[in-house]
Structure 1
């Protein structure tokens, strides 16, 4: 995995905070934003369909209760039903259609050694953000020669998001720890850090991730839902037949982000 610092005109792309980033980092930022967009659209589609279905059902109940000879009442019920139908069509034509391109994640399967992936991605985050933030990124790996059959580039991107967010959420002088091991035929990669909301949202500090995504990550989450910024991690893990988990930030314990992928990854049916 290599990084480039040269743009079309010899300059590096700028981050959201104005400091220069490599083309590789800029690509990863764009990928993160793309998957986040699709994740949010998916939530919108899911969360709106329930209430719309309920409104549609209650419109039929209301229709049976109203006087069939009252034209105003019948027009009102018809208007409610037509409004629901229009909203459903909007979801299908705009929200679902926008997601269609990236709904199925194409993977390039090939066996590769895991340990170099950890070192390369950690160094990418160190050089791209951690050093400028004064945050240490440490790697504690129990891996030796283990290999994984999967899409190395996609998995590297997922690991990058985990580490980049952990650095953004860490105060100056803090440490982010990446641990990795193999257990029951699966690769487990965990990023642990002490969350600092002030550091995460301080506009004066260097940032790579979108401000609204950082802010949303600090808001309460429904059970089993992840912060939007980790959409790429979740999609990549599940496409490999694995999983991604984000711990809660309560209790004063370090926050953990965990990626689990089978060594012989196959796409779920």
Structure 2
């Protein structure tokens, strides 16, 4: 039967079996387990196996006597706190009681034992033991509670820091979004107001065919800017919820890069960036054409934005891993500090605060490349431009 929490073990040591049986019968009771030893050696074995509330030692035993056993117990960390009561049949004139107290005993009893006195004394020590165990358990519970509270406080502090960072990120994001959305919207509103003013004056000559084409092209650019901003925000939401869609099909990556480069040529020319690109050999693989185009567009947008009007070089080649696309600019470059965070959402490199964009392009690009089983590498130094390298396996993982 397993011991209960408040059970107490008693050790009785006597070289006479009849004395052990008498003490056992006297002391045994509910929640009290009596362990008998006929010698000091047996007692030491029991002391190694059990925790005792009290040890009752006979003084006069062959071999190691009770006093020697007590000295061993007091010299051992595991047993030095066990209360010891000596019993002896010797006369009081031998002064055993004094020697017993010197050995660290808490009491000394002479044989024949007073049954009532023995039970009362043992009951006191058992109660003290149980109270000590209860206090130890309470202290352990308090310590666990204190530790749990500290862990909870640490978690709360961490959560507070994360929430504060999230609030700052939200505020920064809203500030950037407001600015970025206002730029094309303000242009569109201004154009509409100018046209309304011309119409109010019946100045239809202001709407020549060439002028209308320019207006339409300008409106389309502003609308496309708004669409890109909205698409970026939607993609971030999809990435966070694990719903970014990847639909791989067999495509020629080289032809895709050619198409993106052709679409960016007017923008590069307007920014004064010379576009260096040699038409590559066909490179067939299984990728999501729309998403890879999105990655290229983000990298080229950054190259134009931070390229300081210097040449931008694009290359496509086959590698041992699959396909490699490199976009190299010679602009402001990226500091080591910024390199650690440019792929985080809403983060932009130092020195780019006055540039357009939400700080989402590289974050989205990296997530798209990862979804294809690939990776993006970047090499850069401040003032030395940047090289972005996209490595893609020829076949994307299953969606």
Name the TM-score class by shorter chain. 0.5 to 0.7
Structure 2 equivalent of residue 119 of structure 1: 258
- Shift in Å at residue 31 of structure 1? 2.9
- In the alignment, the residues of structure 2 paired with residue 17 and residue 246 of structure 1 have an alpha-carbon distance, to the nearest angstrom, of 35
| C-alpha RMSD over aligned residues | 3.3
Structure 2 equivalent of residue 257 of structure 1: 388
| Structure 1 position 193 matched with structure 2 position 302 | no
Structure 2 equivalent of residue 230 of structure 1: 362
Q: Would the alpha carbon gap of residues 165 and 187 (structure 1) be closer, same or farther in structure 2, given more than 3 Å must change?
A: same
- Shift in Å at residue 248 of structure 1? 3.3
Q: Which runs of 5 or more structure 1 residues have no equivalent in the other structure?
A: 1-13, 40-98, 198-211, 221-226
- Shift in Å at residue 38 of structure 1? 7.5
- In the alignment, the residues of structure 2 paired with residue 190 and residue 16 of structure 1 have an alpha-carbon distance, to the nearest angstrom, of 34
Q: Would the alpha carbon gap of residues 138 and 25 (structure 1) be closer, same or farther in structure 2, given more than 3 Å must change?
A: farther
Larger Rg: 2
Q: Would the alpha carbon gap of residues 16 and 136 (structure 1) be closer, same or farther in structure 2, given more than 3 Å must change?
A: farther
Structure 2 equivalent of residue 108 of structure 1: 247
Q: Would the alpha carbon gap of residues 158 and 134 (structure 1) be closer, same or farther in structure 2, given more than 3 Å must change?
A: same
Mapped contact 2:184–2:225 kept (Cα < 8 A) = no
- In the alignment, the residues of structure 2 paired with residue 238 and residue 195 of structure 1 have an alpha-carbon distance, to the nearest angstrom, of 27
Deviations along 1:124-157, one digit per CA (max 9) or x if unpaired, are 2223x2222121222235x322211010000000
| Structure 1 position 175 matched with structure 2 position 315 | no
Structure 2 SS opposite 1:190: strand
> TM (normalized to structure 1)?
0.54
> TM (normalized to structure 2)?
0.37
- In the alignment, the residues of structure 2 paired with residue 23 and residue 146 of structure 1 have an alpha-carbon distance, to the nearest angstrom, of 33
- In the alignment, the residues of structure 2 paired with residue 243 and residue 179 of structure 1 have an alpha-carbon distance, to the nearest angstrom, of 17
Structure 1 equivalent of residue 371 of structure 2: 239
- In the alignment, the residues of structure 1 paired with residue 248 and residue 332 of structure 2 have an alpha-carbon distance, to the nearest angstrom, of 37
Q: Which runs of 5 or more structure 2 residues have no equivalent in the other structure?
A: 1-182, 188-217, 334-344, 353-358
- Shift in Å at residue 228 of structure 1? 4.5
Question: Aligned residue pairs: how many?
Answer: 170
